[in-house]
Structure 1
């Protein structure tokens, strides 16, 4: 093996600073960017990587792991006793069957294909179940394998161009549902394959709503992988395509445009571009206010009820502690009809309170999130980081509460 080969932080006995540098460069993040994302300076990161500073305490290590999206803490620390996954869940029991359906190749035409109306009704029921079931991953995981196979077959047997485009739109939506399920599961490449298939099917359908949804999911995947330039590029292209259609568009196209505008603001917030982030949010708010009363987008959850929740996330991503708690206090979670979206909003509120040095309120809010949708908390890296950090708190009561929550979501054993 060449001595010039790049060391592998997962195999070679590197010190913390070396691991940090390799993981940072693999993510394409500069020292100044990393420092800003964890509330420190670029010079602090440089000193840490050069070994001039000792390994930080657990809260900072968890923040670094969160930004770098490491597989588990031991990848960053080198301490094999800290093998705790943050952004890759332990794997849902139904994940293997869903992955098999996504990976299988079906070329035959002998199978019975349900009528399009039947497939559409099943897909609508699946989205309803996702929003209403406390253990939504379990419900969706049971429905997805047959939905994937039947939607793929429906495209193959379509006889007219119009039928084929409609079948592609349904298939794209099935892939969107699968992408929600596969997020935070132990197969990151599968998430990208599903995202790409969803985008291809949406483009084949020539349906603006489907194309917008595909872009929305792709943007999130890029941003969570810290590919902010790619996220911006997809957002800009999707909005250029959709905005001219808005004067004559229905509620779904206007809602997906609003959801994409929110994503533009969140990416700007991740860059710490305060003015741009809030400007996009304000544009999205106006789009939400123009939607019919009671409207709730079935995929993105974009609605009047959710726009306040987005404001919390913008403030948190900007690392604005007092503003994030102000927004958290204003945004009413109970108005959100979707259980997983309500739980996700509670997690964002918990991030706000934790950022503002209110850890007890953060833990209480995570308990509320767990009550709304346990699986959302179980597979959310931000929630897991807060719980792990507070499990090491100086306060015995806070340690106990955090540890109890960690046991509930499977981070610790009882």
Structure 2
């Protein structure tokens, strides 16, 4: 029987005791009443258990009476308890404040340029959290005020399109910074704005944004179903329309990851094949602020391999993806993180650390809030060597792990 190493992480302990209890991940998730994807993230360290109630339920399921043995933490101390980022309260307040009508004419061109600048900052800045977050409350206030002040039908439709892009940005920001309540409300408002814009491409883009939040929350089946529904909604559009093709492609990329998490490999491979054909047809695109093309297909192919527990295949794919020309900081960072995870799974810790540091050079702010990065860094710390120590320890201290 495997002994409990005092240095084992809570994630490793959950896996150990679940296996000792003779349960599969599927059985444990069913007993917990959560998705299999959520349980896997607890075991991988990608997501922390931050509720005492959840710990008690997990202990009951894996048949452990002593919470200290399960968590490795003193009673009352929970891992990675996230404090809300300082930018979130003003954003939330602006979202829920009563909108005020404007006295002066609405300048939709100016509003559009402001949104373009905010999106450009979010996608392209290495300090994207620090620079984007403070812009969002005023953008929310201005957009909501504009919508209730527009009288012309075509202006209102254009305003709804701008609103869809605003709420999509709030969704992206909230999801990445860990404010899933803000992200979900924003995704819902993006869907409403897309419906009011009466455009199936806007509806499909909004559905993609909502599905990413569902996926991040562990609602894998719901995310997959939403992707399929959005693809069906696009069937009435010209098959040769590049906007439609790109949206079908990016929806299938997200669907592929969900199918892999559901352990439906044939469906995941089929979704990747559809996305691959779409990428060949349209090349690199940015419709509706969503990056899609051959580069993103390569990144997701590697991600699917990781979800299917195939680190060697994930590395083989990822090592041939060139993200150097991608304008998206998030895509470049995600690629380096996939490589780091693959190398760590093979215990090639020096290579894993190198990839973490490459990602950190892209966006140091991301390293401080990304739970997967923190979990991976802890893993490397437990196996540190004189070769990795000089760079690993300062990195760990800077992101709040050591």
TM-score (norm 2): 0.81
Partners of 1:365 and 1:315 lie apart in 2 by 18
Instruction: Tell me the secondary structure at the aligned position of residue 49 of structure 2.
Output: coil
| DSSP 3-state at the match of 1:244 | coil
**Displacement of 1:25:** 4.4
Secondary structure class of the residue paired with 2:319: helix
* Separation in 1, partners of 2:53, 2:349: 25
- Aligned partners of 1:98 and 1:78: how far apart in 2? 36
Mean Cα deviation higher: 398-407 or 310-319: 398-407
Residue 123 (structure 1) aligned with residue 115 (structure 2): yes
1:5-404 pair list within 5 angstroms: 25-29=31-35, 37=40, 63-66=43-46, 70-71=49-50, 76=55, 77=71, 79-80=73-74, 83-85=78-80, 90-106=83-99, 108-112=100-104, 114-185=106-177, 187-249=179-241, 251-292=242-283, 295-297=285-287, 299-393=289-383, 395-399=385-389, 401-404=391-394
Offset, 1:196: 1.2
In the alignment, the residues of structure 2 paired with residue 204 and residue 306 of structure 1 have an alpha-carbon distance, to the nearest angstrom, of 30
Q: 1:247 aligns to what SS in structure 2?
A: coil
Deviations 1:241-283 (A, max 9, x none): 113314252x333222211011111111112222221221121
Contact 2:239 2:245 in 1 (8 A): no
Q: Distance in 2 between matches of 1:26 and 1:271?
A: 17
Paired with 1:70 and 1:253, the residues of 2 have a C-alpha distance of 39
Inter-partner Cα distance in structure 1 for 2:45 and 2:29: 10
Gaps of 5+ in 2: 1-16, 56-70
Deviation at 1:28, TM superposition (A): 2.2
Q: 1:185 to 1:334 in 2, by over 3 A?
A: closer
User: What's the offset of the Cα at 1:73?
Assistant: 10
Contact conserved, 1:101 with 1:148, CA < 8 A, in 2? yes
After TM superposition, give the deviation of residue 405 of structure 1 in Å: 1.7
**Conserved? CA contact 2:102–2:149, under 8 Å:** no
Normalising by structure 1, what TM-score? 0.79
CA displacement, residues 90-132 of structure 1 (integer Å, 9 cap, x when unaligned): 44332222222122222x3245464111111111111111122
Query: Partners of 1:73 and 1:111 in 2: how far apart?
Result: 51
Greater mean alpha carbon deviation, residues 364-373 or residues 165-174 = 165-174
Unpaired runs of at least 5, structure 1: 1-15, 39-61
In the TM superposition, residue 346 of structure 1 has moved relative to its aligned partner by 1.0
Over aligned residue pairs, what C-alpha RMSD do you find?
Answer: 2.9
Corresponding residue of 1:9: none
